[in-house]
Amino acid sequence: MSKKVAVLACSNAGLDYLDYPSDITILRSVIHFGTEETYNDFIEMDAKTFYERISKEPNNVPKTSYASIGTMLEIFEDLKSKGYDEALVITISGKMSGLNEALRNLARQVEIKLTVFDSKTIAYPQAFMVLEAHRLLAEGKTVEEILPYLERIRDNNQMYFAVDTLLYLVKNGRLSRLSGTLGTMLKIKPLLTINKEGAVETVEKIKTSPKALQRVLDKYFEETKDLNVLTYISHAHNDEAVKFFTEAIHKVYPKRKIVTSYLTPVVGAHTGPKAIGLGYIDIDKARF
């Protein structure tokens, strides 16, 4: 008799802005404005509302936290009561959040077998791992059988992104205050990436937003020449940049599939409004 396996993701994956199976459980992070206002990601505040607010209130920089231990325990207890024997949780990079470690510690306290997989990324590539895991489990594969596939997706995807302001990266501890202040003064628009360890790092320092967007596109074209890739655009309410990327890519590769989705608020709290990421998954290398 096969085990009943639940698939879970944290809300950093942005599944809410994609078409996803209803039996995937989302561990919702929380958005904090000051000490009084808190919102569950997407359920109580969606991306459009969030980005409109922070654009109007640039000095009210939100903080974020992952789902409480109590909330997560309740979720696993509920899954157990529904007949699940096992759960696979695919999390945001452990370098960006303490959620992965918290879940590993929680595994000792829950009554179902819990496997925690570090996506070492955020947004669409994390969501893709979740969707593929769900698909393969539905086909009868075991968690042990699909983990190597998730690792191949993780090892063969790359994202570059640009932010419109350094304020949010500085306020949320992603950049030192000094470098952030200097960057703002110099109008630096860094070209950023997520490295193979799952940490955000600066690739280049660029002085204007148009040049930063062009460098994101240049890096994409340099690395995907003649490859079979799934392309994704993750953005913080920046339709103009989405159009720029989409038209440029389809001009060179008319048949390339491009998936576009919002960066969910708990990610946008770190990137700020108008941030945009362009990435790809090397389908041939990541194939199951």
DSSP string, 191-210: EEEE-TTS-EEEEE--SSHH
* Residue 165: per-residue pLDDT: 83
Tokens, residue 272: 């700020």
pLDDT for residue 173 is more than 80? no
* Residue 188: per-residue pLDDT: 82
Average pLDDT in the 27-44 region?
96
* Residue 145: per-residue pLDDT: 97
Fold designation for 157-286: Hypothetical Protein Tm841; Chain: A;domain 3 (3.30.1180)
pLDDT for residue 182 is more than 80? no
Q: What is the Cα–Cα distance from 165 to 270, expressed in whole angstroms? A: 10
Contact residues for 74 (Cβ-Cβ < 8 A; gap 6+): none
Q: What is the Cα–Cα distance from 240 to 265, expressed in whole angstroms? A: 19
Query: Among 122-136, 137-151, 165-179, 246-260, which is the least confidently predicted range?
Result: 165-179
pLDDT for residue 175 is more than 80? no
Instruction: Give residue 179's pLDDT band: very low, low, confident or very high (50, 70, 90).
Output: low
* Residue 168: per-residue pLDDT: 85
Tokens, residue 6: 């639940």
pLDDT for residue 177 is more than 70? no
Average pLDDT in the 79-103 region?
97
* Residue 3: per-residue pLDDT: 87
Average pLDDT in the 130-140 region?
97
Mean pLDDT for the chain? 93
* Residue 184: per-residue pLDDT: 63
* Residue 235: per-residue pLDDT: 97
Residue ranges covered by each domain of the chain: 5-29+66-155, 157-286
DSSP 17-77: GS---TT-EEE--EEEETTTEEEEBTTTB-HHHHHHHHHH-TT---EEEPPPHHHHHHHHH
Instruction: Give residue 134's pLDDT band: very low, low, confident or very high (50, 70, 90).
Output: very high
- For the 5-29+66-155 domain, the top CATH level (class) is alpha beta
pLDDT for residue 74 is more than 80? yes
Tens digits of residue pLDDT in 185-229: 557 888 999 999 999 898 998 989 999 999 999 999 999 999 999
pLDDT for residue 87 is more than 80? yes
* Residue 37: per-residue pLDDT: 96
Q: In this structure, are residues 268 and 51 in contact, taking their beta carbons and an 8 Å threshold?
A: yes
Tens digits of residue pLDDT in 237-287: 999 999 999 999 999 999 999 999 999 999 999 999 999 999 999 999 998
pLDDT for residue 178 is more than 60? no
Q: What is the Cα–Cα distance from 30 to 236, expressed in whole angstroms? A: 17
Tokens, residue 65: 């936290």
> What share of the chain has pLDDT > 90, as a percent?
85
